[in-house]
Amino acid sequence: MSKKIAVLITDEFEDSEFTSPAAEFRQAGHEVITIEKEAGKTVKGKKGEASVTIDKAIDDVRPDEFDALLLPGGHSPDYLRGDSRFVDFTRDFVNSGKPVFAICHGPQLLISADVIRGRKLTAVKPIIIDVKNAGAEFYDQEVVVDKDQLVTSRTPDDLPAFNRGGATPAGRVSHVTSAVFYQTPACCR
């Protein structure tokens, strides 16, 4: 069954951290919906390899319309967390219990939403101290899955593992590729 995947994204996202998971979701038959301040706007990746036309404006969506949330890295999460609408959307989405996928700097939105206290996750090195200061347990692993809801990864190098874990928490989003749960240490499930 097709699911709706919300993607909070703006200019200077890490190109492959959007394009690779989005392609996996689409290949699995899911609908990927990009969300920014303005629908119809084109945003560009920081490497200039990808551009994305925004599907929906943040003011026109609610977390309950989606089955999962993807937060690609790059500078995009840092820019978005300065806008309370994106922080509120992220907080409400996490609190709904639905799957959330964040890679690289993506956890910056989770930090600003104050939803990682007591959670297990990973992220790119420059924000490790921010993750820890927000009360999360940091693990330097290519993929960390917490409470069958939060799937995090560090960098584009981790995308193959991230994509394998990309849409499987608790079966709420059908498989994108094979699950990583059998590879994930017990500490991080």
Any idea which residue has 């609908």 for tokens?
Answer: 31
pLDDT value at residue 165: 65
Mean pLDDT computed over every residue of the chain: 88
Q: Which range, of 10-24, 96-110, 119-133, 168-182, averages the lowest pLDDT?
A: 168-182
Structural domain boundaries of the chain? 3-167
Report yes or no on whether pTM surpasses 0.95: no
pLDDT band at 9 (very low <50, low <70, confident <90, very high): very high
More confident residue, 148 or 144: 144
Q: Is the dihedral of CA 25, 152, 16, 56 positive or negative?
A: positive
- Reported in sequence order, the residue ranges of the chain that DSSP labels E, i.e. its strands, are 4-8, 31-36, 42-44, 51-53, 56-57, 68-71, 100-103, 120-121, 137-138, 143-146, 150-153
Mean predicted confidence (pLDDT) in 33-56:
98
Catalytic residues, which ones?
104
Mean predicted confidence (pLDDT) in 50-54:
98
pLDDT band at 164 (very low <50, low <70, confident <90, very high): confident
- Evaluate if residue 179 carries a pLDDT over 60: no
Which of 91, 113, 103, 115 minimizes the C-alpha distance to 160? 103
pLDDT value at residue 186: 37
- Evaluate if residue 10 carries a pLDDT over 80: yes
CATH code 3.40.50.880 for 3-167: yes
